[in-house]
């Protein structure tokens, strides 16, 4: 059996286990389920925000664009960082003071039920499209590397993510995102060190 597939399988099982383990922290209230009861530490929420911006495209399409065009691709990621900074400076404390569970609840309190419904239904189509794009990008990558068909990858990955989200709530999602961040950062550091070592060897 291909060792790469075994590693991915073990990783998926681990992610599912994370959702089950954090099920008890999801609690019985909507506040516990959707925002961790307001008890999550900044580095936990930060890791989720960080990982939300990652997809298969980050290491394939973005890497290819950086290879051909150089630094301009950094504008995308710097813009994300700038957006996070603005959210922290101007919106985070206001959202905290409102004591709402979800952003849509804040829309209802400020602009009424009609605007809440319009905002909710207006964002659903784009959310579905974005999700489809991310899953398709992942499936294309997996299909090329592991020789697994695209449909299987989309269905299996989608079901695993759905399971973690439903069972573990926000705690399960944040915990899985943190684990993914640790893995990605470790791989990135190793690859960077290897690339630098190769450049040094070539230079000497």
pLDDT digits (tens, 9 = 90+) for 132-146: 887 887 788 777 777
Report whether pLDDT(194) > 80: yes
Residue 141 or residue 60, greater confidence:
141
Q: What is the predicted pLDDT for the residue at 79?
A: 86
pTM for this structure?
A: 0.68
pLDDT of residue 25: 65
Q: What is the pLDDT of residue 110?
A: 85
36: left (phi over 0), alpha (psi -120 to 50) or beta: left
* pLDDT mean over 105-116: 88
Q: With beta carbons less than 8 A apart as the criterion, state whether 169 and 26 touch.
A: yes
Stretch 28-56: mean pLDDT: 75
**Rounded Cα distance, 30 and 46, in Å:** 21
Average the pLDDT over 21-37 and give the result: 72
pLDDT band at 186 (very low <50, low <70, confident <90, very high): confident
Query: How large a percentage of the chain has pLDDT more than 70?
Result: 95
- Judging by beta carbons within 10 Å of its beta carbon (0-12, 13-18, 19+), is residue 193 exposed, middle or buried? exposed
């Amino acid at each position: 059996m291909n060792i790469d597939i075994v590693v991915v399988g073990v990783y998926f099982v681990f992610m599912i286990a994370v959702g089950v383990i954090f099920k008890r922290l999801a609690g019985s209230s909507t506040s516990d389920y959707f925002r961790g009861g307001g008890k999550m530490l900044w580095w936990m929420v930060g890791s989720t925000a960080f990982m939300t911006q990652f997809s298969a495209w980050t290491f394939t399409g973005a890497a290819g664009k950086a290879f051909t065009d150089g630094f301009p691709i950094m504008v995308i990621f710097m813009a994300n960082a700038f957006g996070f900074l603005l959210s922290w400076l101007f919106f985070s404390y206001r959202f905290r003071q409102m004591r709402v569970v979800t952003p849509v609840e804040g829309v209802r309190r400020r602009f009424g039920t009609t605007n809440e419904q319009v905002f909710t239904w207006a964002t659903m189509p784009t959310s579905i499209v974005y999700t489809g794009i991310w899953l398709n990008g992942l499936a294309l990558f997996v299909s090329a590397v592991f020789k697994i068909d695209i449909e299987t990858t989309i269905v299996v990955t989608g079901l695993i993510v759905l399971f973690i989200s439903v069972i573990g709530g926000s705690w399960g999602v944040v915990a899985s995102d943190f684990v993914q961040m640790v893995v990605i950062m470790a791989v990135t550091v190793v690859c960077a060190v290897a690339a630098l070592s190769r450049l040094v060897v070539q230079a000497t």
